[in-house]
Structure 1
Amino acid sequence: MSNRAPLRAQECRPLGNPSELPVLAKKGDVVLGGLFSLHDTVLENALSFTSPPAPAQCSGFNFRTFRWMQTMIFAIEEINKNPNLLPNITLGYQIYDSCSTPVQALRTALAVMGGQSGENSGGTQCRGTVPVVIGDGGSTLSLVVARFLGVFHVPQVSYFSSCACLSNKVEFPAFLRTMPSDFFQVDALAQLVKHFGWTWVGVVAGDDAYGRGGAQIFAEEVKKLGACVALHEIIPKNHDNTQMARIVERIQKSGTRVVLLFAVEQDAGALLREALRQNLTGIQWLASEAWITAAVLSSPQFHSILKGSMGFAIRRADIAGLKPFLLRLNPSFDSQDPFIQMFWENLFSCSLHHGDDVDSTDKPPCSGSEELVSTKNIYADVTQLRISYNVYKAVYTMTYALEAMATCEPGKGLLHEGACPNMSTIQPWQLLEYLKQVEFTNDFGEEMKFDENGDPVAMYDLINWQLTADGEVAYVTVGKFDETTRDKLEIDEEAILWRGNTKDIPLSVCSESCPPGTRKANKPNFPVCCFDCILCAAGEISNQTDAIECEQCLPEFWSNAKRDTCVPKQVEFLSYSDTMGITLAVVALVGFCCTLTVILIFACNRNTPIVKANNSELSFLILVSLGLCFLCALPFIGEPTPWTCMLRHTAFGITFSLCISCILSKTVVVLMAFRATLPGSMVMKWFGPFQQRAMISAGVAVQVVICGVWLAVAPPTPRRLLSRESRRIILLCDEGSALAFSLMLSYIGLLASLSLLLAFLARKLPGSFNEAKLITFSMVIFFAVWAAFVPAYVTSPGKYTTATEVFAILASSYGLMICLFFPKCYIILLKPEKNTRKHMMSKTT
């Protein structure tokens, strides 16, 4: 049996002594809790562990936050005076200072919840006297408070906590806010970056939930939009000088010209002071809503680097009657207010406890007659009521939820089975249900309601810092962001003044945009925003800036020199307009003229021995065929047409067959003429003029049949070669049938081979009657030309294919002309003494 005493029921009591925390309170039927960070830091006392720790000391009074607190009181008193809202219920408040520190924020939350035990609780359950809490300001503080209050389902409505993490209803089921989530602010900032084409952006964030969360979401969003984060730095909470200097150096070395500073005003100020020390200029600062309208940063010392800064701020409003309410304060009349004394002493740099032991400072005493009206301080500045407006909306949201509870009809309530709450004992969880469903339009025309995450509708003003003529900072609204509209972001670019008071939009890119005609090529080991611009390959274009890939032109088109437009390809063929075509045409006509000249010489000297001895009829026929060979080169020059394509090869094949047939016939006659001089030979009677004509006709007829069948079955036709790798469209004549083309050339080669063979056999005949040597030389030249033609024809590109064939035709024609007829013309014209019968007969022995 255990010797331990049975456990007694634990009595519920608050941890610590709530009276240690200064509180501004007013009684009411329903008391609203308020958490405000009136001080920026808290000085923790050394822990001896031998005695209870002394109360924490807060320092760094924040006049802006004090205005927010006074706005809450103003709204409550305004509601209490309104007969149309909660006519039988008076609102009270309990307001604490959380000192911008999570530990202190948790202490104040415990104090808010630390009410007396219920009468019927038996000392085992705690129920606070505050059913709802307004606050806290910073996201980090609200995270701590929300986790605690969520356990008891006490609704918390924050006026300044924007961390997107607080939208998680699993972790924070009782958290709501009148401040839009950072998710929407970051979306607005990312859209701003996209709008102005910034692709190389730096991010510096505060070391808290607000800064880290917002910066992380921003980095992810801009990457989705194609931009890159040049640097991502965190400002340490202790503002270590070494770390701050390193961040500024990183900004300088990154090359970015646009930096988002996503931090609360204290952290932002610390970084900007270091930027001033290092003379960091040329940066376009993007501000988060936490400091875009912070007056502490609008002082003249920051003008050199912050003028032109831009950022999104929540909506503002002009709250009627607020300024007189703010100016009403006086420590003489509000002696029970623990915060007004701090406010007064910090505002006027005096001491209300002068001469007391508790005051060890040398500040002059406060008379109590100082006038707030005569001071110029952010506390009384009601021109930029944004967070104050959020506090105002939070109070009214509570009021409308209480109004809905008070006017609930049985059976139509939001509780189980339509039950209505008991207004004399309001439970926090009941108020939470009504807060989630609250919906109203306030006096400023703004619809107020919460979504399923407890977030309000996100609407921002785009603020631009501009210096006025008297050197003051003006928060100029140059656009807006409304997540309920289609386009969301609206910007008046003409109203913006950028860094340096210029109208030029700053450029912030890792690499300059690639102009049309080039494409982006990523640099290894660099972000996608850092790239090289590569000229598009020939035949490809890009007609837009920053093209990822170049587009291939259609087969009929080619890229221009700038590679930004597809232009029609140049049509290429062997024409009379280019040098090569003109040259070949002239050479062909010269050859034809030479042939006519030789014909004329032979005609004029047809009765001379040398002409008669060379069979004048065959000589004239050869000359005529050679003239036709020169002329058949002309259809190869010019744009191919169906008629010229059919004429080209058939004319070439038939005329060369005629010419070689005549040479073959002449070779046979020369050879047989020598044989006929032998005693008893009857050979020449079989090679008379008729037989010669028959032999020539038969030789030509075979080629005519080949060409006729070729034209009937698969005639040559014009063809366009569209190569994607070439800038030219090649016009040529397609052979139609490679077999027919090969047969045509082969037949000419056969006739030439027979002529060469017979001429070679007759090469040693007596010189005066011997043309065999000349025919041999001419056939050797013919074969050399056409042997070289075949590989050259196959490998020549474009119009050079046709030029190669024309050259072969002309070269072989000139070879035949020179070898067969120039020696005879030489004798006729220059050696007439040798053109005699006696001379001719003298060589026959």
Structure 2
Amino acid sequence: MSNMFCLTAVSILYLPVLLFEAFVLSKGKYERSVVPSSASRLVARMDGDIIIGALFSVHHQPSAEKVAERKCGEVREQYGIQRVEAMFHTLDRINSDPNLLPNITLGCEIRDSCWHSSVALEQSIEFIRDSLISIRDDSEGSKWCIEGVPSSQPPSTKKPIVGVIGPGSSSVAIQVQNLLQLFNIPQIAYSATSIDLSDKTLFKYFLRVVPSDTLQARALLDIVKRYNWTYVSAVHTEGNYGESGMEVFKEIASQEGLCIAHSDKIYSNAGEKHFDRLLRKLRERLPKARVVVCFCEGMTVRGLLMAMRRLGVAGEFLLIGSDGWADRVEVVEGYEHEAVGGITVKLHSREVSSFDNYFLKLKLSTNTRNPWFPEFWQYRFQCRLPGHPQENLNYARNCTGYESLEDNYVQDSKMGFVINAIYAM
């Protein structure tokens, strides 16, 4: 789908990718959609004897203006819908295998974290409520507490979760773990790589299927040394992922004699004026510090690329990005020219062909267990579903329901880790 060239891996776990050298990605752009209010707090459930909870970023995080309202952004395919479907697909495979868990059926409860700590905590509280519904009050006989009301009968539908998969962001994962461990609920992360999460004295119920950012910081420095860059600027995303990762990078950079011209931080959902101000500060270090090492989430990188276009400085900087950027098309879509020459690293993970076979056959009329699917379908194909509760009025064309997901399809680069986390639970 894109023209990019792979470099030799500098670590067995990381693969640097040189992006867009003299080429530009194919257009395939989507218009920005407004998330219908009815889709803001939907929950996907799959019945089973044992229930696994999951937090996926089905929508982008709230904009700076919408944080107080906890109103999430637009729907996400790779980080959201694909991961929801990966959960369903993996549990289907486990339940159909008579050798894995005979006579036991796994189910799930999937909630939207919106890549934001306040939303994730709100949804985690719902997980905890489900886990506490079977607590009995024996002071006045055997009673169950259901939705805050005493009952002589146990709840018939909800079951406590045995653990939580996710969320994706390190900063959000730390907030969620601080809550879950109070109730002895285990958590397995598929992309939270912060070094701080390795501290078992603080996060005793936390596990992950990815390495910490110590190795990634080393990989970024190896790239800088490989091209003999000795004077660079450094930017990181405000939050645990960027801060802890950049701290390690600076520490080992000083040991290797690398000079940091300017260091700064910014929120992923910061406004345009904040990104413009950051970019002006970086320009003050030109032409010596043209290379910018960015230990950033993907949307932080996108914010920088957008600022480059607004200020007309495309080509003045060369970005070295962490795995938050990796090879994600959504980060550079529409701003390929500004990203030319950038180098990123990503966690090494093979594509999961069985997921492609499953996902690409999904149809709007038959996929009823994913409550966010109608919203995604409209966004994906830029059409509307007349009369549907999630109808998006921003689109003029009506959906036929026979559109193909194979068009412009790209599998989530961390799909293998999401599936590994489910099996690990």
Give TM-score, length-normalised by structure 2.
0.78
2:172 pairs with 1:156? no
2:388 pairs with 1:388? no
Q: Which has the higher contact order (CA 8 A, sep 6+)?
A: 2
CA gap 1:34/1:124 in 2 versus in 1, 3 angstroms: same
Partners of 1:20 and 1:236 lie apart in 2 by 22
Partners of 1:298 and 1:21 lie apart in 2 by 28
Contact 2:135 2:144 (8 Å CA) reproduced: no
Partners of 1:24 and 1:155 lie apart in 2 by 20
Equivalent position of 1:288 in the other structure: 322
Partners of 2:145 and 2:176 lie apart in 1 by 20
Equivalent position of 1:84 in the other structure: 99
2:131 pairs with 1:98? no
Query: How far did 1:79 drift?
Result: 1.5
Contact 2:269 2:299 (8 Å CA) reproduced: no
Equivalent AA in structure 1 for residue 326 of structure 2: I
Partners of 2:305 and 2:66 lie apart in 1 by 32
Equivalent position of 1:275 in the other structure: 308
Contact 2:232 2:261 (8 Å CA) reproduced: yes
Q: 1:264 aligns with which of 297, 304, 325?
A: 297
Q: 1:338 aligns with which of 365, 371, 381?
A: 371
Q: Structure 1 or 2: larger helix share?
A: 1
Query: How far did 1:89 drift?
Result: 1.8
| SS, match of residue 61 in structure 2 | strand
Partners of 1:249 and 1:331 lie apart in 2 by 46
Equivalent AA in structure 2 for residue 363 of structure 1: Y
Contact 2:375 2:392 (8 Å CA) reproduced: no
Partners of 1:46 and 1:305 lie apart in 2 by 28
Contact 1:235 1:271 (8 Å CA) reproduced: no
2:53 pairs with 1:38? no
Query: How far did 1:91 drift?
Result: 1.1
CA gap 1:227/1:45 in 2 versus in 1, 3 angstroms: closer
Deviation string, structure 1 residues 582-607 (Cα, Å, up to 9, x no partner): xxxxxxxxxxxxxxxxxxxxxxxxxx
Aligned length: 367
CA gap 1:167/1:102 in 2 versus in 1, 3 angstroms: same
CA gap 1:250/1:93 in 2 versus in 1, 3 angstroms: same
Deviation string, structure 1 residues 184-209 (Cα, Å, up to 9, x no partner): 21122223333433221211111122
Partners of 1:178 and 1:357 lie apart in 2 by 38
| SS, match of residue 78 in structure 1 | helix
Instruction: Supply the RMSD in Å over aligned alpha carbons.
Output: 2.9
Q: 2:134 aligns with which of 118, 124, 143?
A: 118
Query: How far did 1:238 drift?
Result: 4.2
Equivalent position of 2:274 in the other structure: 243
Query: How far did 1:359 drift?
Result: 5.3
CA gap 1:159/1:62 in 2 versus in 1, 3 angstroms: same
Query: How far did 1:250 drift?
Result: 2.2
Q: Equivalent residues in 2 for 1:60-75 (5 A)?
A: 60-65=74-79, 66-75=81-90
Equivalent AA in structure 2 for residue 172 of structure 1: F
Query: How far did 1:68 drift?
Result: 2.0
2:424 pairs with 1:397? yes
Equivalent AA in structure 1 for residue 244 of structure 2: G
Equivalent AA in structure 1 for residue 395 of structure 2: K
Partners of 1:205 and 1:44 lie apart in 2 by 18
Query: How far did 1:391 drift?
Result: 0.3
Query: How far did 1:128 drift?
Result: 6.4
| SS, match of residue 154 in structure 1 | coil
| SS, match of residue 60 in structure 2 | strand
Equivalent AA in structure 2 for residue 63 of structure 1: E
Contact 1:33 1:134 (8 Å CA) reproduced: yes
2:258 pairs with 1:215? no
Q: Equivalent residues in 2 for 1:216-615 (5 A)?
A: 216-254=247-285, 255-278=288-311, 279-299=313-333, 301-352=334-385, 354-355=386-387, 361-364=393-396, 366-373=398-405, 375-376=407-408, 380-382=409-411, 385-398=412-425
Equivalent AA in structure 1 for residue 52 of structure 2: L
Equivalent position of 1:777 in the other structure: none
Contact 1:329 1:340 (8 Å CA) reproduced: no
Partners of 1:26 and 1:356 lie apart in 2 by 23
Partners of 2:297 and 2:271 lie apart in 1 by 16
CA gap 1:171/1:268 in 2 versus in 1, 3 angstroms: same
Partners of 1:357 and 1:381 lie apart in 2 by 28
| SS, match of residue 32 in structure 1 | strand
Query: How far did 1:105 drift?
Result: 0.1
Q: 2:177 aligns with which of 146, 164, 169?
A: 146
| SS, match of residue 353 in structure 2 | coil
Contact 2:352 2:415 (8 Å CA) reproduced: no
2:72 pairs with 1:58? yes
Deviation string, structure 1 residues 124-151 (Cα, Å, up to 9, x no partner): 9999610111000111211111100111
Deviation string, structure 1 residues 128-175 (Cα, Å, up to 9, x no partner): 610111000111211111100111221101111111111121221111
Partners of 1:191 and 1:107 lie apart in 2 by 40
Partners of 1:324 and 1:337 lie apart in 2 by 18
Query: How far did 1:356 drift?
Result: 6.8
Contact 2:375 2:391 (8 Å CA) reproduced: no
Query: How far did 1:295 drift?
Result: 0.7
Higher Cα Rg: structure 1 or 2?
1
Deviation string, structure 1 residues 284-326 (Cα, Å, up to 9, x no partner): 3211001121111343x43333233222211121323211211
Equivalent AA in structure 2 for residue 375 of structure 1: D
Contact 1:252 1:280 (8 Å CA) reproduced: no
CA gap 1:44/1:334 in 2 versus in 1, 3 angstroms: farther
CA gap 1:364/1:86 in 2 versus in 1, 3 angstroms: same
Contact 2:55 2:165 (8 Å CA) reproduced: yes
Partners of 1:238 and 1:396 lie apart in 2 by 33
Query: How far did 1:61 drift?
Result: 1.0
Equivalent position of 1:29 in the other structure: 49
Equivalent AA in structure 1 for residue 108 of structure 2: Y
The unaligned stretches of length 5 or more in structure 2 are 1-38, 147-157
Contact 1:112 1:128 (8 Å CA) reproduced: no
Partners of 1:391 and 1:120 lie apart in 2 by 35
Contact 1:330 1:368 (8 Å CA) reproduced: no
Partners of 1:283 and 1:356 lie apart in 2 by 46
| SS, match of residue 40 in structure 1 | coil
Equivalent AA in structure 1 for residue 356 of structure 2: K
| SS, match of residue 51 in structure 2 | strand
| SS, match of residue 58 in structure 1 | coil
Partners of 2:66 and 2:403 lie apart in 1 by 39
Contact 2:189 2:207 (8 Å CA) reproduced: yes
Contact 2:384 2:398 (8 Å CA) reproduced: yes
Partners of 1:163 and 1:269 lie apart in 2 by 21
Equivalent AA in structure 1 for residue 221 of structure 2: A
Contact 1:205 1:215 (8 Å CA) reproduced: yes
| SS, match of residue 247 in structure 2 | helix
Partners of 1:340 and 1:394 lie apart in 2 by 23
Work out the percentage of aligned pairs sharing the same amino acid.
26
Equivalent AA in structure 2 for residue 244 of structure 1: F
Give TM-score, length-normalised by structure 1.
0.41
| SS, match of residue 338 in structure 1 | coil
| SS, match of residue 375 in structure 2 | helix
Partners of 1:220 and 1:26 lie apart in 2 by 46
Contact 1:332 1:368 (8 Å CA) reproduced: no
79-88 vs 59-68, which moves further: 79-88
Partners of 2:273 and 2:176 lie apart in 1 by 33
